[in-house]
Amino acid sequence: MKILIYFVEWIFAFFIIWGLNYSLNNILKRKISPVMASIFTFIIIGLFCFFVSPYLITFTYPSLVYLPIAFFFFVITLIKVAKV
């Protein structure tokens, strides 16, 4: 049963970080270059998750839940920026 709870938490974290990444990246792209926007987005999401996730995620090590997701979106965003 714990595995199911961890999986559901991971899915919710994925969608929340996806939304944060998309919105922050679009807001920051208007002000600064796309590469710097993706870097600042990764830093902001990392700090937000570092301070908030221990209270929301029941997994023993919450950083193992949000860091791979945040890094995944960071790499995808950099690949998109490099193509343009």
pLDDT at 59: 67
Whole-angstrom Cα distance, residue 72 to residue 42?
10
Alpha-helical (H) ranges within the chain are: 2-31, 34-56, 63-83
- Give the pLDDT of the chain (84 residues) as one tens digit per residue: 778 888 888 888 889 889 999 999 999 989 898 899 999 999 998 888 888 877 776 766 777 777 888 899 899 988 988 886
pLDDT at 2: 79
pLDDT at 25: 92
CA 57 to each of CA 1, 10, 29, 30, 47: distance values in angstroms, whole numbers, following the listed order: 15, 9, 30, 33, 15
pLDDT at 24: 92
Write the Ramachandran bin of 15: left for phi over 0, alpha for psi from -120 to 50, otherwise beta.
Answer: alpha
- Domain residue ranges of the chain, discontinuous segments joined by +: 2-83
